[in-house]
Amino acid sequence: MHKQRSFPLRIAEEDRRRARRLAEKTGLSENRLYSDLIHEGLLVREQMAYFEKLRAMQVPAEEGVALLDLAPDVAPGAEDALPGAQQRRRRDANLSSR
């Protein structure tokens, strides 16, 4: 496990108020909320950098879509499912079968 160090974070007071409210609403500590937000933000930025790399390599969009088509068509795990997604899938399946 990695050693954690403190890091002073300077943010606008309004952003801190918003974060406190969100942390309280979601049952997280303010510190955990910041940690999660930073982690998620890093993932997004890394993905953006990767897509920029692909664009620079001039990979055609069709090749990217073809690669995605190789992924299995499975329902997301319970932790990744959107609320109400299963009901929407059933409804959509019923509508398309008409």
pLDDT digits 0-9 by tens, 26-75:
999 999 999 999 999 999 999 999 888 988 988 888 887 898 899 888 88
Q: How far apart are CA 19 and CA 22, in angstroms?
A: 5
Instruction: Let me know if residue 91 belongs to a domain.
Output: no
- Highest mean pLDDT among 12-21, 43-52, 86-95 belongs to 12-21
Instruction: Let me know if residue 87 belongs to a domain.
Output: no
Instruction: Let me know if residue 32 belongs to a domain.
Output: yes
pLDDT, position 95: 67
Question: Residue 6 pLDDT more than 90?
Answer: no
Evaluate whether 23 touches 29 at the Cβ level (below 8 Å).
Answer: yes
Q: Which two tokens stand for residue 89?
A: 């899938």
pLDDT, position 92: 67
Round to the nearest angstrom and report the end-to-end CA distance of the chain: 54
What mean pLDDT comes out for the span 10-32? 95
Instruction: Let me know if residue 34 belongs to a domain.
Output: yes
Domain count, the chain: 1
- Would the pTM count as exceeding 0.85? no
Instruction: Let me know if residue 26 belongs to a domain.
Output: yes
Helices (H) and strands (E) in the chain, counts: 4, 0
**SS3 call for 31:** helix
pLDDT, position 82: 75
Question: Residue 90 pLDDT more than 70?
Answer: no
Residue 30, by phi and psi: left (phi above 0), alpha (psi -120 to 50) or beta? Answer: alpha
Amino acid identity, residue 16? R
- Report CA 3 to chain centroid distance, whole Å: 25
Domain of residue 52 covers: 9-65
